[in-house]
Structure 1
Amino acid sequence: MGEPAVEPIPGAPAATLDLGEERGLAVADYHAGIEVGLRYERGVELDSNADERRRRLLSLLDRTNADRVVVLGDLVHRIAEPDGVEAEEVRDLLDALDSRGVPLTLATGNHDGGVADVFPDRIDLLPTDGGRIDDVGLAHGHTWPGAEALSASTLCIGHEHPSVRLTDEVGGSRVERAWLRGSLRREPFLEALGDDGDELVWNDPELVVFPAFNDRSGGTWINVEGESFLSPFLPEALADGEAYLTDGTRLGSYRSV
């Protein structure tokens, strides 16, 4: 047996990907410039964490010796063409990756509408319904993945920012980012694809929902009753999802954590 297609990195909201001839470093929901967004959206004043975000990613790149960085959507935060400090943060990241000869692939997310216009020819962009590199499907998850992404044996998405709320024996609680993994059910996708579903190649894919790389972006509490998922195909398309903490702790079924 070879290495798993997706291998979470212990202690980090990131994973390595087996992309055939390349080794990928994948993260989701980078949300460059989030501090500016929080200031306008919620009146929250935070110092920029841009340099630390870039250092964390570059440290993981050095640690994994990856050939490519893959961002599973929402490279930027504001739903508009990035400018100002937001664009500067992305430019600094791309410059650092260029200096290492490492390309960046972005699965277009709901926050990434203007990225291609501001950074033409600097990012390998996948469409909003995702794509595939070797046997790994890549999408953001805010829309239904297309047939190409679904034809892979593993589908990686972001968007959800999965988190779990953990309660101790004395009633204290904490929230931690988490991975969500499980088998996909075919039926919801066939219904969503309509006539295109007749030609859907289905390899019983595993779904891997990445935790948010940005630790200021909040998330979906996947084990709290009444919390709704953000992705249109969750949880209906998830057959047997299990949750894992970023340190590798297996929590079992996310429904009963």
Structure 2
Amino acid sequence: MIGLTKRIKIVDPWPALLLDDSTLVVADLHFGVEEELESVGVHIPTSVAPKVIKMVLEPLKELGLSELIVLGDVKHEFGYPSPSEWISTKKFIKTLKGSSINLKVVQGNHDNYIIAVLKEFDIELYKKALPWGKVTLTHGHIAPEEIESISNYVILGHEHPSILIRDSVGFKHRFKCFLHGQVDGRTLLVLPSLSPIAYGTDVNSNPSSTFLSPFLRDKDVLNMTPYAVEPGEGLQKFPKLRDIH
């Protein structure tokens, strides 16, 4: 466990946060992403949904928690959910309910039509953000100025940050990572994608002009600190982005 503040900790070795010692926070599950990959010729032999569900349940059980917040993109398809998305999302929710886990969902840009599934299980959907004391929880696709009463500490997803590291013999290694630091006078904590096949932006090798989130795009992010995570294996703090070569 790495404590970033008294209230916020990274859960080693998972792409998840512990908030107020009571609530697990994850982002970007992307149920159904395999179908899009299949459509462009990338074959995924089995569904990744069971792995995603396991990566949520294990830290919940290890820490004895009963509350989960998902920061958007539960499903992958932008439009109406595919059959596999319906099945995986419902299985996920039923598994949580079977373990007496209270679920809150902040809507992501991929979560169109998900409200029908959530209503079926009496789960509230937060459209833009979920205020949590002096912290704002949001997906990350909506600009800060569009979020009412936004705080100076924001936890978000959407970017799927990763870092690209070259070893001593020249091989490149890619790791999902958390990003933490000051941007435009506000402290940001960006979560990696929970999906094992949704990596996203290499934040140390691409200019911020290519970033997805309006919280990060075209911003000075070089003072942010990455925490690389290999789910189920380990967590490692790296130097600030400006010092990674």
TM class by shorter chain equals: 0.7 to 0.9
- How does the TM-score come out when normalised to structure 1? 0.83
Match of 1:241 in 2: 224
Do the aligned residues in 1 keep the contact of 2:136 with 2:154 (CA within 8 Å)? yes
CA–CA distance in structure 1, aligned partners of residues 61 and 149 of structure 2:
28
Do the aligned residues in 1 keep the contact of 2:176 with 2:228 (CA within 8 Å)? yes
Match of 1:107 in 2: 106
Match of 1:11 in 2: 13
Quick one: which amino acid aligns to residue 241 of structure 1? M
How much has 1:237 moved relative to structure 2?
Answer: 6.6
How much has 1:252 moved relative to structure 2?
Answer: 1.6
Q: Does 1:217 align with 2:216?
A: no
Point out the more displaced range, 239-248 or 4-13. Answer: 239-248
Within-5 A mapping of 1:43-122: 43-46=41-44, 47-120=46-119, 122=121
1:11/1:83 CA distance change after superposition, 3 Å: same
- How does the TM-score come out when normalised to structure 2? 0.87
CA deviations over 1:40-75 (Å, ceiling 9, x no partner) = 3x2222121222221221111101222211111101
How much has 1:31 moved relative to structure 2?
Answer: 0.6
CA–CA distance in structure 2, aligned partners of residues 30 and 149 of structure 1:
27
Quick one: which amino acid aligns to residue 213 of structure 2? S
Q: Does 1:232 align with 2:214?
A: yes
CA deviations over 1:3-48 (Å, ceiling 9, x no partner) = 6222111111111112xxx8111111101111122223x2222121
Quick one: which amino acid aligns to residue 227 of structure 2? Y
Do the aligned residues in 2 keep the contact of 1:139 with 1:149 (CA within 8 Å)? no
Match of 2:180 in 1: 181
Do the aligned residues in 2 keep the contact of 1:185 with 1:238 (CA within 8 Å)? no
CA deviations over 1:134-166 (Å, ceiling 9, x no partner) = 332111111113444622x53110010100000
Do the aligned residues in 1 keep the contact of 2:31 with 2:88 (CA within 8 Å)? yes
CA–CA distance in structure 1, aligned partners of residues 175 and 5 of structure 2:
27
The total of aligned residue pairs comes to: 233
Corresponding residue SS for 1:97: helix
CA–CA distance in structure 1, aligned partners of residues 61 and 143 of structure 2:
33
Unpaired runs of 5+ residues, structure 2, are: none
**Moved runs in structure 1, 4+ residues, more than 6 A?**
none
Unpaired runs of 5+ residues, structure 1, are: 187-204
Corresponding residue SS for 1:252: coil
CA deviations over 1:157-182 (Å, ceiling 9, x no partner) = 00101000001121111100111001
Quick one: which amino acid aligns to residue 211 of structure 1? P
CA–CA distance in structure 1, aligned partners of residues 222 and 166 of structure 2:
26
Corresponding residue SS for 2:13: coil
How much has 1:218 moved relative to structure 2?
Answer: 2.3
Quick one: which amino acid aligns to residue 125 of structure 1? L
Do the aligned residues in 2 keep the contact of 1:5 with 1:136 (CA within 8 Å)? no
